[in-house]
Structure 1
Amino acid sequence: MINRQLVETLMKMSEEKAALRAQIERYQAICASAYQLAGAVDAPLRFLDALASAANGEPVSEEAALDLLPVTVEECAVVPKGATLTDEQRGAIEWSIRKMDSPHTGSEAQRNCETLRTLLAAQVEK
């Protein structure tokens, strides 16, 4: 007869695995959205490649992840001068900022969020 404690442990591990799988799927969905945003602002190819891999659950090497940053505004088309963002575009950028800007992200990600906020503020002033 199987030990009751062993059965309970296995059931708990199964629940934890399901929770982790759901979390991974949420992160993959965020990466898929970020991929679309990166394409819309003509982000460097290294970002598109990394985000596509992450969205599809493919491994990204530590070296490739570390090589993503820093990124400069000059590397991206962002928004041409004189152009305005649609409400949908502004919403997508704001959504991405909220997802990236948390106490759990590094200082580089938080600086990138601040850069995006500055760009959005400049668009609102137009």
Structure 2
Amino acid sequence: MSNCFPENFQALDPYYYSPGVCPRGYTVACAAGLGDGATVGTCCPTGYGCVRGRPGHESNACRTVLATDSYFSYRVALTTATDDSPRPQSSTTQFWAAGAGVFARGPVIRRSGSDPSWPGFPV
């Protein structure tokens, strides 16, 4: 759902947002200090946690576990890495049982050493 992300959202390194403010409905789910005194963090939808190092997926994935059986409707965009042409989209609905893991992308943010720290992340 591209309308959930900030304008001109880029999900790949080296893109990030600064100052480190998550979009509405997102919170800082994980953070790490950088050598220059700055901090990098991943914004996940509220209620999701941060999962690093999922093989074959973006390294800063967000994850939650479904408490109840659920149906999800979502759009799938076909993308190419070589151009910015319009991308065809299709909609689908899928059933997921309670206990299933749901993953989402999260915008990456940065803050300098002089910016206020994020709640729960003193680095």
TM-score clears 0.5: no
Higher alpha-carbon Rg = 1
Structure with the largest fraction of strand? 2
- Quickly name the TM-score band, shorter chain normalised: under 0.3
**Greater relative CO, 1 or 2 (CA 8 Å, sep 6+):** 2
